[in-house]
Amino acid sequence: MSYEFWIGARYAGLARSRRKGGGGDRFVSFIAASSMVGIALGVAALIVVLSVMNGFQKEVRDRMLSVLPHIELYAPRMAPDEVLSQWKNIARMAEENPEVKGAAPFVAGQGMIVRGETLSGVQIRGIDPKLDAAVSDVAEQMVSGELTSLVPGSFSIVLGNYLAHTLGVGMGDTVLVLAPQGSISPAGFTPRMRQFTVTGLFSSGYYEFDASMAFINYEDAAKVFRDSGQTGVRLRIADMQKAPLVASELRAALPPYVQAQDWTQNNRTWFAAVQTEKRMMFLILALIVAVAAFNLLSSLVMAVKDKRSDIAILRTLGATPREVARIFLVQGSLIGVVGTLLGVGFGMLVAFNIGVIVPFIERMLGVQFLPQQVYFISELPSDPQMTDILIIAITSLVLSLLATLYPSWRASSLQPAEVLRHD
């Protein structure tokens, strides 16, 4: 071990001094330890926050796509009845793509559900209950009744559990569904309406869907919405991340009157907002690491000032300015490396166990950090990604190394004669 490394490690508090007393060494080691802790806390905070944001995005995405299709095919220039009569041909052409694993028809529209004096706006999805399991997980999310109860002509409806609670309805109750289109008569505008019987309740775990979505048979939906609803084919693919690529391939393979839209387009605003928020959180929390690096710079400057006599003695013994600079480069680098490793270890420990830590804190304090009505999910998810962890670690190391440059140059530029004359 070179003497520069040994001295730098001793100043960083990572090597033991044989000298008795050592008050100056203890002071330098203390400020080095405080810088190390600052870097570790900054790195850990970055890892935990970005892991939670990744987990939040993944959890919400998965819950959304348990109800929504990966890709939707529709023909806006064709009448809904014509699309429904040809949906099997469109599905067969789409299933020639090896990524497509399931297809089912749909009729989508927005309307109002009325129960007594309570009225609520809803997204209504007309589906084929026998084929829907191939494109969504709604059948597995039923908390009451069965999705197969949506028999054509029965005008049955399956509601989200929060929507049913808002309307005050349960199994077997009737609700009135109003379509936004209607007929104009001498008496005025009359909205199109139909009475439905509640035959099931579902819970996707995604509050927005559970509070504003209902399913009916696609043939019944075609009668209610007629020309106003969007009609087409829902697809599920093997890898949801390839949805944009598969949608592009389908546009090229299907007839020109058929359009394909994937889930990233349908929810573009939400996912773009999450990505922007993640970038901003990284920049904001990276300032914590930057402050810790500035603290490291300050501690090294203090160490240089405290060790002026030692530096002068080393120079008189033949140490070159480069060797003196390497001592403080080693000190700062070791503080940065050890602080970064401690931060990565602590951050990953918290990130991988946040599902246990947060509920424990909630029980201790008697609070709920994530009300489902506000944040869509009730549990704090975490998804640590190695790419983020590597970027955070590299950023911390680079800032730490940059913080050592000025103090090292300052130490190497000290003149032994001037220092010893004043001391």
Number of structural domains (the chain) is 2
Q: Does residue 206 fall inside a structural domain?
A: yes
Contact present, 193 and 252 (Cβ < 8 Å):
no
Higher pLDDT, 207 or 271: 207
Give the residue among 323, 320, 328, 322 at the shortest CA–CA distance from 297: 328
Average pLDDT (126-149) is 89
pLDDT tens-place string over residues 312-352 = 877 777 778 888 888 888 888 888 899 999 999 999 999 99
Most confident among 185-199, 245-259, 271-285 (mean pLDDT): 245-259
Most confident among 11-15, 285-289, 342-346, 402-406 (mean pLDDT): 342-346
Give the residue among 88, 107, 84, 78 at the shortest CA–CA distance from 257: 78
Residue 185: band (very low, low, confident or very high) from pLDDT cuts 50, 70, 90: low
Q: Does residue 271 fall inside a structural domain?
A: no
Residue finishing a domain among 206, 240, 266: 266
Residue finishing a domain among 213, 238, 266: 266
**How far apart are the C-alpha atoms of 293 and 299, rounded to whole Å?**
10
Same domain as 311, residue 220: no
**How far apart are the C-alpha atoms of 225 and 108, rounded to whole Å?**
9
Residue 393: band (very low, low, confident or very high) from pLDDT cuts 50, 70, 90: very high
Residue finishing a domain among 248, 266, 284: 266
Same domain as 418, residue 367: yes
Query: What b/e string do you get for 334-351 counting C-beta neighbours within 10 Å, with b at 16 or more?
Result: bbbbbbbbbbbebbbebb
CA distances from 180 to 156, 177, 219, 224, 414 (A): 20, 10, 18, 10, 82
Per-residue pLDDT at 341: 93
Average pLDDT (358-370) is 76
